[in-house]
Structure 1
Amino acid sequence: MVFIFSPSHKTLVLDLNPTTTTLHQLKLAIQENSDIPISVQRLFLSQSLRLHADNDSVLVSELGVRPYSTLTLHVPFFGGTQPPTAPKPRFEFLNSKPPANYVAGLGRGATGFTTRSDIGPARAAPDLPDRSATTIGGAGATGVGRGRGKPGEEDEEDEGEDKGYDENQKFDEFEGNDVGLFASAEYDEDDKEADAVWEAIDKRMDSRRKDRREARLKQEIEKYRASNPKITEQFADLKRKLHTLSAEEWDSIPEIGDYSLRNKKRRFESFVPAPDTLLEKARQEKEHVTALDPKSRAAGGTETPWSQAGTDLTAVGEGRGTVLSLKLDRLSDSVSGLTVVDPKGYLTDLKSMKITSDAEISDIKKARLLLKSVIQTNPKHPPGWIAAARLEEVAGKIQAARQLIQKGCEECPKNEDVWLEACRLASPDEAKAVIAKGVKSIHNSVKLWMQAAKLEHDDVNKSRVLRKGLEHIPDSVRLWKAVVELANEEDARLLLQRAVECCPLHVELWLALARLETYENAKKVLNRARERLPKEPAIWITAAKLEEANGNTSMVGKIIERGIRALQREGLVIDREAWMKEAEAAERAGSVATCQAIIHNTIGIGVEEEDRKRTWVADAEECKKRGSIETARAIYAHALTFFLTKKSIWLKAAQLEKSHGTRESLDALLRKAVTYRPQAEVLWLMGAKEKWLAGDVPAARAILQEAYAAIPNSEEIWLAAFKLEFENHEPERARMLLAKARERGGTERVWMKSAIVERELGNIHEERMLLSQGLERFPSFFKLWLMLGQLEERLGRLAKAKEAYEFGLKHCPTSIPLWLSLSNLEEKMNGLSKARAVLTMARKKNPQNPELWLAAVRAEMRHGNKKEADILMAKALQECPNSGTLWAASIEMVPRPQRKTKSMDALKKCDHDPHVIAAVAKLFWHDRKVEKARNWLNRAVTLAPDIGDFWALYYKFELQHGTEDSQKDVLKRCVVAEPKHGEKWQAISKAVENSHQPTEAILKKAVVALGKEENAVENSKH
């Protein structure tokens, strides 16, 4: 197929084969499709390359025309007259007469006008006849829209005689005067002679420089053919080698498949329902036949009738042969290729064999054919050889894989991947020879030298191979590292000295050499490295570590500071985050001074002044989470140089020292803190507490005395001093301190602590007196009323206790503990009805309080009113839908099958409430889901570490299902948390007999109390 671009700007498509079409045939085809004579056709392959030959029988393919080429057709303009143009066919309605009184365009309001194109050259417009005088049968009316109308025949003849021209010379009314001056002239002998003269001139002009033009055309054609050779020319050298092929090789050439179907577009798919006969036949074929075939009975056992479906015996034979080949390949030794069969373990080996299915065998065959085609069509393509070899390896034909990859090495000797694959597939005895050929072909391949070193078994030979590789590739960092790792310290130092000369831009080699050198030589090495790599921060950091390791800690900060300035001069941007990571790395390496110097010089880079405190504290906390304690300590130390009076930073630093430091470092930090912030009570109290926990009570007293001197009217200091004496069994000293505090106008807490001391000592009279005096001063402090009522209850004076509670509620109507104490007292004295009334009154004065609702529900449960308790719980959840305590109680109240649903509802309402989480943990515990229960209990104590009931529940769980280590861990965590709240925890810890008990003892008593409560619940159910 060839495309012709004609002068009319249209493209002709000629279905011709350039290799079988001559130039004359091409021109004939153009004449048939465009009516352009052969004599005037000028064909061009490009703008300057004309398609020309002395003989028109030349094939156009020899002139450079290829399939789908585009030729340009030029038609020269010759002088003289042209043959007349055939008149265009007129439309049918234009040949008919117009109707009477027709005026063109009159209906749409057009106005007639006349132009020079309508009149023609030197032709005056005739006088328009009177329209009114025109008869119906006469000539047509004069056109308004197109100038003159067509006059009658007589007028036309007269006009022609008068004007002196005939109708043959009349211009085209549609094209105006553009037809041509000699369009209607006759083509006589003079015109023919003129055309011959012009043609001779053209031939003469065309013959000039003909030899030069033909030579240039020939050169361009040869150049085009060289850049676009024919298929036959491309494979000419390969065709010459075909005579060397044997008959077996000819037979092994694969047949090309029909791949055209892949590219055909599927238009649509038609789905035809299967007939019933076909479905019935399929059903019958799948049935299990339990009766004899009548044909077999008819044969009487002497003849076997043929089955309905034929069997492809050829395919069965090929499959058996393939399976046998696979089995034999598996039995061959992968090292030496010899057949090895273990008679004793043969059956065991058969069990462990992978049985290849027919589908897998078919896939392997298809893949083998495809890859064979790949390596034959493009033998210089390394991935094709590698894929073919791996296919044979997967198929179990290791010898075929080795042969294929060996051919690949011959075809692609400069590809390292092929050699590596050949080395992998080769036997251990042949692998060294293969890799030796590889490094000989590609002596600058690092991968091949590394593989050659791996094949050696001792370090000496490995080092020898690597050094041989370094002779060819002296700038390979990977080879230098490998050979240094195999050498001893002295040889490694010598090798690294040579390595930094060959690879001066790799900082790792410089640093490794500095580590192996002595102190003085290491400094020289680092100085040389700094000159070669002025933008490398690791060199300065290593220099600082070197000075620190040799005891010159004073130089560490100077080196880091000087290094940062030098890097900034070189235009390197100092990244604060990257330097912090370097500080953490220095800490892990044991270079604490370097870590501190890096933090001191880089922590403030890029941080705005107003963001310093927040940013530095956040950085320290992140470092603390990652375990970089020294880095966090350095950040806090640097921050405290800017924020000496910020209590929060001192507290953060103190917490860090408390968690990860020593008592001495914490004491030093707190001493420094109270120097700059003497009015911070919490810093004094923390220091005193740490001394007390360390067992140094006199030091704690001294700190509190200093604190009292700094803050003379601080109640917290007084109470801390009281607690110190009280917990150390010094009640007299504690009583004296509280007396002084009362004299100085102590608050209600001082009076309460004073009453607690007297209760501890058993002085009932003094306790009542202190409570009365305290209530006179602070009547709205509900704890004093509560302690007074509890005192009367202990003495058995229930009426007095009730009176104390009622007086307390008059002054403190919103105190929930007072309402609960009064309710419990009424229940003891007058039964459930009175207690119910008290709780109802309490709920009216304190609406939406879950504790009051829970107390009412429990009161009903204690008296066996399950239905009333359920009603109250429903009302409580309506009024307090987000109360975790109520949801936890409701989960325990419902029957066991409904607890899961109730727990789901509770988690939807309050997902992060510790009471609900503890209740769900109990469900997992009862269902023997130990790990889930442990996770949920851990979550509960994490959310609320101050509630001791959860710690007791967690510890009890570990006692039943945990190990000794897990039990100790829970106990330790509880002691650290120091819980203060919890219903059962407070009842135990605030009892008089447990006032001085440690947290560990209270936890164990709480566990015992939980066990008793569960036993009581189980007994009540039975």
Structure 2
Amino acid sequence: MSAGKALPKANRLAFLSQPAPASYVAGLGRGASGFTTRSDIGPAREGPSAEAVAEAQTRRGEEVEADPEQYQDPDNETGLFAGTVYEQDDEEADRIYDAVDEKMDRRRKARREAREAEELAKFRAERPKIQTQFADLKRGLAEVSDAEWENLPDVGNLTKRRRKDFREGRTFAVPDSVIVGNRESTQYENALDPMQQDSGGFETPAESGTITNLVELGQARDKVLSLRLDQVSGTSSTLGGSQTSIDPKGYLTDLNSVQLRSDAEIGDIKRARMLFKSLVESNPKHAPGWIAAACVEEHAGRMVVARKLIKAGCEQCPKNEDVWLEAARLHQTADAKIILANAVQHVGQSVKVWLTAANLEGDVKSKKRVLRKALEHIPNSVRLWKETVNLETSPADARVLLTRAVEVIPTSVELWLALSRLETPDRAKGVINKARKAIPTSHEIYIAAARLVEQDVANKLAAGQDASKEMMLIDRTMESCVKELRRLQVLLTREQWLKEAERCETDGSPRTCEAIVKATIALELDDEDRFDVWLADVEGAEQRGLTGTARAILAYALRVYPDRRDLWKRAAELEKAHGSRESLDAILERAVHHCPQAETLWLMAAKEKWLGGDVPAAREILERAFVANPESEAIWLAAVKLEAENNELGVARELLVRARTVADTERIWMKSAVFERRHGQPDAALETLETAIKKYPKFAKFYMIKGQILQDKKDIPGARAVFAAGMKACPKEPVLWILASRLEEADGRSIKARALLDKARLVNPHTDTLWAEAVGVEDRAGSTQQTKALLARGLQECQTSGLLWSMAIWAEPRASRKSRSVDALKKSNESPMVVCAIARLFWAERKIDKAREWFGRAVTKDDGGADLGDSWAWWLKFERQHGTKEQQEAVMAKCAAVEPLHGPVWQSVAKDMKNLGKSTREVLDLVASALQ
């Protein structure tokens, strides 16, 4: 076949079916090798053998790759020691080495993790995450309601301008190929390609030589990520091996010191400059325009241009003081003095210019010279006179200046008052009289006159002289002040007068304060509103710490309403909190004189005398109280308590006998039985109770005391019968059921105790104490599941019970107590018991400050928190473990002041016969020791 002629078509097809030459390997030159895959369809050819490949490589002159296994020793295929025996010693050695490696790894792990945590914390502090920066805002989103979410407006074009779109109004013809391609993009092929079938199979990734190694990809990704993190943290090395020399913090600090201006800001400055330039050119006499133009240049950093502008402004507007002041501000001190010297030639009546000039002076002498020069130009300026007087160090010189000042400005109240303060008391009166004639409409001058008289009162009292006339003069001065101001149509409101009174008390003039209150407290008030308004004024003054004002208001109110016992009680409480014992006794003496039927006032008076150690005076007050209130139960019991506490048992017993005859009440009979039981006469107590039960069979405490006496005498059947009679007579008394249950439990009859409590809950539904007692019975019996079940049922019935919620908190596992306490706080309306339980949780977690704060909240709650003795005891126990002696004493003092009476453990300890007669401090100590 000649080279110049092409093969016929039939010969070309026959050539493709001919066998390949013996040394031909398809794709060998580019490193390919033939193989057969499972996806091959139809007959496939076998690739050349290894010998054929080697022969072909030899012919081409390529080096034949050596077989790595041809030099292996068939007798030693696994290693040098492959034929040895693995003994027990080898196993032990390997185990020891593994243990050492593991221990060293743990030690390094702790240090490594600590170092990594420290580095991470430092990195997070320098570069916080986005989610950390917006964490508070995300928490705030929790309070957004659904309605607020729905009312959020859609994002739109807020510029109120229509954006231009270059494509608006233009249309294009879509080619058919785009439409067809879009239609076929969502279709799926469900048949094989016949061309692929004819060629002998589908091409696989292996055939194209693009096998992906996922492990290497992962390693490369990790390496790139590590490099990026190192660059961000500033620890990556350069190619030469040296670390970066850029300090991120210092670099950012340097950037903050550079003042960069954006294009928008520069444009704004240019527009403002053009605007103000047009303004000053069109209206050169407009001073604010010059000032604004200078401020723009100052903001742009062009101080020279700003000073030129303001200089031109001074030339154009020489009569405007603001231009001169702005010019002085923009210049240095020396230049500013020259500018202000020129300014006073044009605006010599400007106080601001003179004061600015005086402030620029460095020494006092120069300031005085400038201010005196200013007074020559502006003699009627109060501010200049005050500044001049303030620079004087000698009272005599200041007095001379003020004397001249009040001559020049006789209508200035401040100058008259300042002069009166510098004069002697005798001459000050003359100054005040002149001031009152010059300014008859000033109430400050009258108040100053009253304060001068009060100084005379203080001096006479210190010298032991009579000052009653002067004290009456203070009242007359304020009364005449009110009358004169009303005549001159100068009407101050009642609130303004009260503020003046409070100011006098703050300045140390309580008698003047009282005179102001007495003269003005009834202004602008109707008769039916006076009482409530005055009480509100007293509360407000006391809250602000102004006890003198509150005392004066109460004194005036008591003169108007001398028969209001609650007003006398409020006055007594005020004196007890802020006054002396003598003032308290005087108030109570006046109170019982005006309100002889008020038992509370008699008891307060007797108690204060008793606490003061004057027992005969207390007896005398109670005797007078008997005369005024012969059938008063409280007064009889107070007299019995007084005699019993002073070991006058016979007198106390006789008083009880007389009380049962004169004032025949259930409480007196109960106190008689308690008195006999307390002093070792249980039989007499039982006789008294027998008579009392016949007279008052519906009084539950008779059955309680009688049952407890019989239980103490080991008469269990008798006590059981008494409690049963009491439950039948008074089924609505939960304490009776609880005592009967405890009696059965102490007798070893827990089933009977449970039955009694079940019946009690049926008779008294929604009673949390009964549920708490039932939970306690199961807890003491060791029935954990039944305890939780009863507690859950109790919370369902008494959903707001602080007692049950506090028990539920401690019934939870340690991990879930905190979440349970949140629910308890919400459901119980912040019950003091729950607050105390939360304080104990903080105590258990060693959060000392938090625990102390919550204990303080628990005993200051308005809903009876201070009356819970258990909360005080827990606080004292906490302070004994974590507090100081002073903190422990503070807790005991506060508890003794409020005298708590309630609390499960507190009542059991306080009412124990062994602890009767002990003080609140002693009971608190016992309860704190008994708490677990």
TM-score tier, shorter chain, comes to 0.5 to 0.7
CA change 1:733–1:394 in 2 (3 A) is farther
Contact 2:631-2:663 at 8 Å conserved across structures: no
State the Cα deviation string for residues 243-264 of structure 1 (Å, max 9, x = none).
Answer: xxxxxxxxxxxxxxxxxxxxx9
The yes-or-no answer on 1:546 pairing with 2:452 is yes
Paired residues for 1:587-626 under 5 Å:
587-626=505-544
Corresponding residue for residue 803 of structure 1: 721
- Of 436, 440, 446, 1:530 maps to 436
Cα distance, 1:424 vs structure 2: 3.5
Instruction: Structure 1: state its 5+ residue gaps.
Output: 1-263, 274-347, 1014-1022
CA distance in 1, matches of 2:812, 2:628: 59
The yes-or-no answer on 1:457 pairing with 2:457 is no
Paired residues for 1:106-121 under 5 Å:
none
Contact 1:586-1:595 at 8 Å conserved across structures: yes
Corresponding residue for residue 156 of structure 1: none
Cα distance, 1:538 vs structure 2: 1.6
The yes-or-no answer on 1:486 pairing with 2:412 is no
Paired residues for 1:278-289 under 5 Å:
none
**Aligned sequence identity (%):** 46
| Paired residue type of 1:446 | V
CA distance in 2, matches of 1:715, 1:265: 83
The yes-or-no answer on 1:516 pairing with 2:426 is no
| Paired residue type of 1:850 | D
The yes-or-no answer on 1:658 pairing with 2:576 is yes
Cα distance, 1:719 vs structure 2: 0.8
Corresponding residue for residue 360 of structure 1: 261
Cα distance, 1:358 vs structure 2: 7.5
| Paired residue type of 1:531 | K
SS of 1:460's equivalent in the other structure is helix
Paired residues for 1:162-311 under 5 Å:
266-270=161-165
Cα distance, 1:807 vs structure 2: 2.2
Corresponding residue for residue 885 of structure 1: 803
CA change 1:827–1:424 in 2 (3 A) is same
The answer to which of 785-794 and 977-986 deviates more is: 785-794
Contact 2:632-2:663 at 8 Å conserved across structures: no
- Of 823, 839, 849, 2:741 maps to 823
CA change 1:479–1:792 in 2 (3 A) is same
CA distance in 1, matches of 2:251, 2:322: 35
The answer to which of 800-809 and 367-376 deviates more is: 367-376
CA distance in 2, matches of 1:558, 1:886: 63
Corresponding residue for residue 952 of structure 1: 873
The yes-or-no answer on 1:971 pairing with 2:892 is yes
| Paired residue type of 1:737 | L
RMSD of aligned alpha carbons: 3.1
Cα distance, 1:737 vs structure 2: 2.5
CA distance in 2, matches of 1:927, 1:399: 66
CA distance in 2, matches of 1:393, 1:937: 59
| Paired residue type of 2:694 | E
| Paired residue type of 1:585 | R
CA distance in 2, matches of 1:265, 1:883: 59
CA distance in 2, matches of 1:272, 1:968: 84
Contact 1:374-1:384 at 8 Å conserved across structures: no
TM-score by length of 1: 0.62
Cα distance, 1:479 vs structure 2: 1.0
State the Cα deviation string for residues 89-129 of structure 1 (Å, max 9, x = none).
Answer: xxxxxxxxxxxxxxxxxxxxxxxxxxxxxxxxxxxxxxxxx
CA distance in 2, matches of 1:734, 1:480: 77
Corresponding residue for residue 573 of structure 1: 491
Corresponding residue for residue 922 of structure 1: 840
CA distance in 2, matches of 1:587, 1:465: 39
SS of 2:871's equivalent in the other structure is helix
CA change 1:490–1:367 in 2 (3 A) is farther
CA distance in 2, matches of 1:698, 1:402: 89
CA distance in 1, matches of 2:656, 2:491: 62
The yes-or-no answer on 1:466 pairing with 2:362 is no
Corresponding residue for residue 142 of structure 1: none
State the Cα deviation string for residues 128-173 of structure 1 (Å, max 9, x = none).
Answer: xxxxxxxxxxxxxxxxxxxxxxxxxxxxxxxxxxxxxxxxxxxxxx
Give the structure with higher Rg (CA): 1
CA distance in 2, matches of 1:879, 1:267: 65
CA distance in 1, matches of 2:342, 2:901: 80
State the Cα deviation string for residues 43-68 of structure 1 (Å, max 9, x = none).
Answer: xxxxxxxxxxxxxxxxxxxxxxxxxx
CA distance in 1, matches of 2:353, 2:271: 29
| Paired residue type of 1:543 | A
Paired residues for 1:818-967 under 5 Å:
818-943=736-861, 944=864, 945-962=866-883, 964-967=885-888
State the Cα deviation string for residues 584-633 of structure 1 (Å, max 9, x = none).
Answer: 11222222222222222211122112222222222222222222212211
Corresponding residue for residue 670 of structure 2: 752
Corresponding residue for residue 408 of structure 2: 502
SS of 1:609's equivalent in the other structure is coil
Corresponding residue for residue 377 of structure 1: 278
CA distance in 2, matches of 1:967, 1:394: 62
CA change 1:271–1:767 in 2 (3 A) is farther
The answer to which of 793-802 and 969-978 deviates more is: 793-802
The answer to which of 670-679 and 798-807 deviates more is: 798-807
CA change 1:708–1:357 in 2 (3 A) is same
TM-score by length of 2: 0.68
Corresponding residue for residue 557 of structure 1: 475
Paired residues for 1:43-442 under 5 Å:
266-270=161-165, 355=256, 359-360=260-261, 365-366=266-267, 369-370=270-271, 372-374=273-275, 376-379=277-280, 380=284, 382-383=287-288, 386=291, 405-406=310-311, 408-442=313-347
Cα distance, 1:981 vs structure 2: 0.9
| Paired residue type of 2:706 | L
| Paired residue type of 1:269 | K
Cα distance, 1:679 vs structure 2: 1.7
Contact 2:633-2:663 at 8 Å conserved across structures: no
- Of 602, 605, 624, 1:706 maps to 624
CA change 1:441–1:971 in 2 (3 A) is farther
Contact 2:269-2:300 at 8 Å conserved across structures: no
Corresponding residue for residue 992 of structure 1: 913
SS of 1:980's equivalent in the other structure is coil
Corresponding residue for residue 735 of structure 1: 653
| Paired residue type of 2:372 | R
| Paired residue type of 1:458 | D
SS of 2:529's equivalent in the other structure is helix
Paired residues for 1:718-733 under 5 Å:
718-733=636-651
Cα distance, 1:393 vs structure 2: 5.6
CA distance in 1, matches of 2:633, 2:872: 31
CA change 1:910–1:544 in 2 (3 A) is same
State the Cα deviation string for residues 516-540 of structure 1 (Å, max 9, x = none).
Answer: 2344443343333333333222222
SS of 1:457's equivalent in the other structure is coil
State the Cα deviation string for residues 407-464 of structure 1 (Å, max 9, x = none).
Answer: 5544544443343344344334444334333333422221121122222333332222
CA distance in 2, matches of 1:366, 1:268: 22
| Paired residue type of 2:765 | P
| Paired residue type of 2:828 | C
State the Cα deviation string for residues 525-559 of structure 1 (Å, max 9, x = none).
Answer: 33333333332222222222222222322211111
CA distance in 2, matches of 1:350, 1:884: 58
Cα distance, 1:788 vs structure 2: 1.9
Cα distance, 1:872 vs structure 2: 1.9
Contact 2:832-2:858 at 8 Å conserved across structures: yes
Corresponding residue for residue 647 of structure 1: 565
CA change 1:931–1:911 in 2 (3 A) is farther
CA change 1:998–1:401 in 2 (3 A) is farther
Contact 1:587-1:630 at 8 Å conserved across structures: yes
Contact 1:364-1:391 at 8 Å conserved across structures: no
- Of 693, 697, 708, 1:775 maps to 693
CA distance in 2, matches of 1:975, 1:457: 62
Cα distance, 1:809 vs structure 2: 1.6
